[in-house]
Amino acid sequence: MSLRYTLIFATLATLTLLGGGIWALSGHNPAVQTAAAPKEAKSPAAAQIKAPQPVLPESRPLPVSEALSQRVTEYHLDAQLLPSTGSLMASEAVTWTHPGQKPVQDLYFHLYPNAFASGDTTFMKESGGKLRGDTMPANGYGSMTLTDLRTSDGVSLMQRLQYVQPDDGNVNDKTLVKVHLPQPVSGGESVTLKLKFEVKMPKIFARMGVSGNFVMAGQWFPKISVYEPAGTRGVKQEGWNLHQYHGTSEFYSDFGIYNVTLSVPPNYTVAATGFPVKTAKLKQGQKIYKFYADDVHDFAWAASPDFVVAEEAFSSPEVPGVRIKLYLDPLHKDLQERYFQAAKAALNTFSKWYGPYPYSTLSIVVPPKEGSGAGGMEYPTLITAFGAAENMPGTQLERTIIHEIGHQFFYGMVASNEFEEAWLDESFTSYAEDRLMEQEYGVASNLPLQASLVPSAQPLTLETWKYTGDDAYTRNIYIRGKLVLKDIERQVGTKTMDAILAAYARKYRFRHPSTQDFQRTVEKVTKKSWQTYFEHYVYSGGAPDFAINHITNTIRKAGTDKEGLRYESSVTVSNRGSQYGDVPVKFTFADGYTVQRYWNGENKQTTFQLSYKAPLLSAEIDPEHSVLLESKHLNNFRVAELEPDTLSRWTLSMTNLIENLLGTLVW
């Protein structure tokens, strides 16, 4: 009994020590802080690349014949920033080319800023005014107002607008609007609409808004929804993919061309998607920027009079040439080299793994501390770092940059539907981030510890707002989805996993893939079916849960003296969760001898029989924590109940016993 109490108290003490600081959110990436992360990053390999570093001219648009994507949309945007009111006055001419076959007479636009119009919108009700550790500032609401909408012939369509709420029917939500056209659009035909709109920017929260004189314009213009032809993401009937802006959802849109003119006060500097087509000029008291981007599915920009701007050209065998631009908060003006090194490492390695980065620019915006709600976010050719809260941050600086650049591949080019299959961008990017952080900075993630943070496994293909429970979306999409990829890697080997992800990323570049597309890629590369695995762990919320149920020791005499005693031990183990095979079980005897056997996992329960000269002291399932998808580890270990005279006969060391138990729990 004394032994059992000692073990219980030791376990509780260990869990208490583990409890603090394991769920640290940082920027866009809510993954757990890695174990033993060094304060300063070592010099990454990318910093040592000796390839020539040419001075790159600003790029020019590719001829249409060299288009990388289908270019379903073409936007011409003109916006003026009014800092005194925190608002934008803007116009838009958008051309949409019908990618399907059936005639379409209704167009749908996302009006994302309306998510912040009041506390009654779907976004605000679902989020509770909190997102990624950030809280909606008091009286920080913002909105978008369409002031004019016409055909290219000048016919007004304002009376044809209808706000729709296909997900929840919330009449107070105006993040999705339908426009009924005068004439239907046939497959392959194009239609052009002209809009005027005003945006009252919210105080920075959930990726966009204003904070002091810093502006983050993300999801700031009316954006056409995605019309999916039959076969896209496995849909059987073509049609619009329509969703409101939810508390946990991000975005989904088609590739296209953007020509954007931005007018800001003369002391402001602008960072934006794409590249400037000409040098910014002063005109009538305004600084005028003109940007161009093609084969992208979004356009974002940031502006501030305080930016410290730095720029470097980078090329390598995997990156033909890219201009990296830093827009730093003054607090981080002396950290340029760290940002550049992380960006080069990410561009170089991800291009090697997943296909070349095809754009000529990459802009990195570092918000001020007060604008941290805009930090840690990805847009095509533009990312935001976490807010500059300290002048000597740890390796979370590099981790955030690497994560967001990873999104240039998984979301940026492999453009999955973030409303419905968020794991295809967040889990894949988190997987790539972990690998690169370990390769470049020697920071390895504690995967078993992270697995323990997913107490409720749910399907990875749920629409984002349907995850139930505290932080269930974050824990499943950022952590469990990544662990599924790591688990596949452990089964097939790193080399084969590299081949799987390279094949997937290259095949679905500039397309909209689904989870089934990824499954087919896994099966094609490995030449076997993965249907059962995906059914257990992707399409449903399966997770193994191994347990040591019972241990018994009996004495059998093998001779006439005490030395001839044999102990017969029986250990019953079970899996209370999803099927998982080839699980190691470690048995430790009272004299310190250990033996390991494997359970094929075919049944829910099995019993091991052991015979040895010493009694069995303990049994543990999966001692090395190789089964990454198991989150409940405490029932994996059990100590046998031994009589006091048996314990004293073997003179067990309590210190060694406790150390063994603590080692099991701490991983």
Residue spans of beta strands (DSSP E) within 357-425: 361-365, 377-379, 382-384
Note whether 619 and 571 are within 8 A (CB).
yes
Q: How far apart are CA 553 and CA 614, in angstroms?
A: 10
Alpha helices in 493-567 (DSSP H): 494-507, 515-526, 531-537
Q: How far apart are CA 105 and CA 532, in angstroms?
A: 42
List 478, 508, 567, 580, catalytic entry: 478
Structural tokens at position 395? 């390796």
Note whether 232 and 255 are within 8 A (CB).
no
Q: Could you say which DSSP state residue 83 is in? A: T
Residue with tokens 């894949």: 428
Does residue 42 sit in helix, strand or coil?
Answer: coil
Q: For the CA atoms of 350, 353, 358, 361, what is the dihedral angle to 10 degrees? A: 10
CA angle 72, 350, 75 (to 5 degrees): 20
Note whether 20 and 237 are within 8 A (CB).
no
List 228, 318, 404, 421, catalytic entry: 404
Query: What phi and psi values does residue 406 have, to the nearest 5 degrees?
Result: -55, -35
Write the Ramachandran bin of 533: left for phi over 0, alpha for psi from -120 to 50, otherwise beta: alpha
Query: What phi and psi values does residue 600 have, to the nearest 5 degrees?
Result: -75, -10
Note whether 146 and 110 are within 8 A (CB).
no
Of 623, 513, 385, nearest to 522 by C-alpha is 513
Does residue 339 sit in helix, strand or coil?
Answer: helix
Residue with tokens 């003006």: 333
Catalytic residue flag (residue 598): no
Which residues fall in the annotated binding site for Zn(2+)?
A: 403, 407, 426
Which residues fall in the annotated binding site?
A: 403, 407, 426
Residue 133 identity (one-letter amino acid): G
Q: Which helix (H) or strand (E) holds 240?
A: strand 239-241
Of 263, 133, 270, 138, nearest to 207 by C-alpha is 133
Q: How far apart are CA 628 and CA 122, in angstroms?
A: 35
Q: How far apart are CA 593 and CA 195, in angstroms?
A: 77
Does residue 259 sit in helix, strand or coil?
Answer: strand
Catalytic residue flag (residue 404): yes
Note whether 404 and 375 are within 8 A (CB).
no
Of 258, 293, 137, nearest to 204 by C-alpha is 137
Query: What residues are labeled active site?
Result: 404, 478
